Amino acid sequence: MSDSYFPRWRPQSSGAKRAGGVVATDERLAWPQMVAMGVQHVVAMFGSTVLAPLLMGFDPNLCIFMSGIGTLLFFAVVGGRVPSYLGSSFAFIGLVIAVTGYSGHGPNPNIPVALGGIIVCGAVYAVIGLIVSAVGTKWIETLMPPVVTGAIVCVIGLNLAPIAVKGVSGSQFDAWMALVTVLCVGAVAVFTRGMLQRLLILVGLLIAYVIYAIVTNGMGLGKPIDFSIVANAAWFGLPKFGAPVFDVHAMALLVPIAVILVAENLGHIKAVSAMTGTNLDRYIGRAFIGDGIATVVSGFVGGTGVTTYAENIGVMAVTRIYSTLVFAVAALIAIVLGFSPKFGAVIQTIPGPVLGGVSIVVFGLIAVTGARIWVVNKVDFSDNRNLIVAAVTLVLGAGDFSLKLGGFGLGGIGTATFGAIILYALLRRKPAQEAAV
């Protein structure tokens, strides 16, 4: 790479092009191909970036728009050196629902309270990035080894499980349609290949949506989909922005999510480093800062907290195209979509049972991803320290164990996160003791 702040993206070498080889982070394809790849990255992040705000009662159109803005901010802070897309973070779902008392359907009237907490969380995240830039990442890796990060990620999925089940328990029809949705997503995951399989959530949701429309609008069973909101929506218009309210209780509950975002982003950068064969450790601090700033900006205008997306890392793994410039193109495409109220209206027609069924799959996948971190990093559960840390963390999170100390409160994810970190540190043996075992 060049010594300039941003890379001087050079065209892919002719030899690599003929061989269908890797496109490096500081290379680019022809512009029509760059736009096509940008669209693919938008589609990859679309399912989760739309699903997360819907589950919290945020405006998904605004969140798509802010995912583009956030990605551009991240791109600028890291100097175009780290290939990542920023979308709505699932780590906020449980605690946002807790602080707002959201019922699970329609717009969330208490979003301003959550926005204040999201902003403070993003600010703390950015401060952690400044510290990492100054002293490195070794302290983070010491505090949060794979047994801890795996447990924390697993807890996010387990903590959200009751929300998903409750959301589809309104009637037997809703419950059965949720199961149909689960089967649709599962079928796409197992019986398709290539990019279609990578988009299993989005494609499965679309299939379930069509089935629901046939059964309700066509056959008269269940609550039909109201398409009038799509017909009445304008093609172009400004997103509906919101303003934050800074509530001490909400901020105290949401701040611990910064630790989860750190673990998530660190894992993603390590994965990208392994794929590209480029050591990106020197950009980790700036990546945290960029993600933190993007979360703060999103919170100030009414959007969700954001994080780097595994879905887009998956696209890079499949295509072997790591050009960071592709993500700037994807961000611009997302911003354009954010200016279409009709696009947002289509999203709002997604039936509750279909959304609930997708939630069951997504939350389960989050939990399994945590377990995968243990497997990939070969966490030794014959070591009682690892065993106790994982066991206690899972129960604290799944049981939504809450703690209050004066005006400061922690929900299940918060207590599980800090519990895992503190418990691992307390049970840490000295080198001489480890050698004696």
DSSP symbols for 263-326: HHHHHHHHHHHHHHT---GGGHHHHHHHHHHHHHHHHHHTPPPEEE-HHHHHHHHHH-B--THH
DSSP state of 58: -
Q: What is the 3-state secondary structure (H, E, C) of 233-279?
A: CCCCCCCCCCCCCCCHHHHHHHCCHHHHHHHHHHHHHHHHHHHHCCC
Question: Which residues neighbour 36 within 8 Å (Cβ) at sequence distance 6 or greater?
Answer: none
CA torsion 57-63-64-68 (nearest 10°) is -170
Question: Which residues neighbour 108 within 8 Å (Cβ) at sequence distance 6 or greater?
Answer: 56, 57, 58, 100, 102, 114
SS3 183: helix
Helices 146-167 and 412-426 cross at an angle (nearest 10°) of 160
SS3 108: coil
Q: Digits of tens for pLDDT over the chain (437 positions)?
A: 456 788 887 787 654 444 446 777 777 877 887 887 787 778 667 767 877 888 888 888 899 999 999 999 999 999 988 888 998 887 788 778 878 888 767 788 889 999 999 999 999 999 999 999 998 888 887 888 888 888 887 887 787 777 778 777 778 888 888 888 889 888 888 887 765 766 677 788 888 888 888 888 888 787 787 778 787 878 888 888 888 988 888 888 788 788 878 877 887 787 788 777 788 888 899 999 999 999 999 999 999 999 887 667 767 776 778 888 889 999 999 999 888 888 777 777 778 788 778 778 777 877 787 787 788 788 888 888 899 999 998 898 888 787 776 655 566 777 888 888 889 988 876 554 555 55
Beta bridge partners of 307: 87
